[in-house]
Structure 1
Amino acid sequence: MGIVLAFVPFVVFAVVDHFVGATEGLIAGAVVSAAMLIRDLVTPGRAPKVLEIGTVILFTALALYAILASPTWPIVAVRLRVDLGLLSIVLISMAIRRPFTLQYARESVPRELWDSPVFIRTNYIITAVWALAFVVMVIADLLLLYVPSLPQRVGIIATIAALVAAVKFTQWYPESIRAKATS
């Protein structure tokens, strides 16, 4: 459940962006992500996670740029930047050898499994699937940006399908690995 909650700032951004505006959506995403990070800093037993830190940096930087530079981005261009930022966070987490799913998985797995090669590999695979979902979202954003005749629902369908697939895979894959280990 923690991994799903980590995406709340992106949901808040999308809703505010849709109903109010891009700059306001970026500010809302920055505020919500900062609040979540602060919660982790002050709550005993919780620690900030790579995804949450990256989300604060992403939304704060984009919000400041939007406020200071007043760019005239179409909505899809703002979403492209957010989705590219999210993809970057995920890829960086893998590059620094801390796949973002690892911190969430450790919250529900006994400590003695944390250094297991199977546990670590499983998290790299799950993180790679999330990266693939974000690549799909970036491609959908690019298509909508550069092929304006495409209906907006193409991007919406691609985004929903990619995210649902990543969530389902995240739920299914560890269970599949456990089932193989016990058979």
Structure 2
Amino acid sequence: MKPLTLLFGMAPWVLFSMIADRLGTGAVGWAALAACLGSLVLAVRGAVTDGLKVIDAAGVVTFGALAAIGLASGPDVQRSLVDYGRGGAALVLGTVMLVSAFTVPFTEQYARASIDRRYWGSPAFRAVNRRISLLWAGIILVMAVCHLLAGALGTGDILLNWVIPVLLVLGGLKCTEAVASAAGVGGGTAGART
């Protein structure tokens, strides 16, 4: 699996955070709408090329709801969305990732593009993707806590909203590569050990 492909799927989630953080209360509904449309583009693209991805579908639903709330509400609700929307969205994303680890790991949907089809059903392939999905679920849930704490502090905290999340993502990328490489499913047409 190419970890950067996984990050590309999370782009709408980052887009929402950046726009809402920079433009504030009046733009939070529009930020959610932009993220919803970004998720929709990824969902349609994925559905056409290699199947709908759970992260994209979760983005469409999550940001569609946030857009509706943000565009239809007043300044007090919009302020809450700016303060807690990023953490709430991350909480939804982390929960979706966590649940997928016990059903069909969301990382399988990305890994299939770089793994020979004959390995897709192997127990090793599923186990590696379960580990990687749990890793990312943990990372995103920790980020959610950081974002919610920053919202509660009301400071727009750079450490909690950006520094720690970026470090977590960089660490997650390294761990993803290490887990995949150790299992022999790192990339190209490499096979999974069975």
The two structures have a TM-score, normalised by structure 2, of 0.82
Change (3 A) 1:16 1:87: same
Q: List runs of 5+ in structure 2 lacking aligned partners.
A: 186-191
Q: Is the 8 A contact 1:136 1:158 kept in 2?
A: no
Q: Does 1:59 align with 2:63?
A: yes
CA–CA distance in 1 between the matches of 2:160 and 2:17? 16
Give the equivalent residue in structure 2 for 1:9: 12
Q: Is the 8 A contact 2:9 2:56 kept in 1?
A: yes
Give the equivalent residue in structure 2 for 1:116: 122
Q: Which amino acid aligns with 2:6?
A: I
Give the equivalent residue in structure 1 for 2:95: 88
Give the equivalent residue in structure 1 for 2:37: 31
Deviations 1:19-61 (A, max 9, x none): 33322211110011111112223x3x42111111111111111
RMSD after superposition = 2.2
User: What SS does the corresponding residue of 1:48 show, helix, strand or coil?
Assistant: coil
Give the equivalent residue in structure 2 for 1:143: 149
**Percent identity of equivalent pairs:** 24
Change (3 A) 1:32 1:151: closer
Q: Which amino acid aligns with 1:11?
A: V
Q: Which amino acid aligns with 1:15?
A: M
Q: Which amino acid aligns with 2:17?
A: A
Q: Which amino acid aligns with 2:120?
A: W
Q: Is the 8 A contact 2:88 2:148 kept in 1?
A: no
CA–CA distance in 2 between the matches of 1:103 and 1:153? 32
CA–CA distance in 2 between the matches of 1:17 and 1:150? 11
> Looking at both structures, which has the greater relative contact order when contacts are Cα pairs under 8 Å and sequence separation is at least 6?
2
User: What SS does the corresponding residue of 2:85 show, helix, strand or coil?
Assistant: helix
Give the equivalent residue in structure 1 for 2:83: 76
Q: Which amino acid aligns with 2:37?
A: V
How many residues are treated as equivalent by the alignment? 178
Give the equivalent residue in structure 2 for 1:154: 160
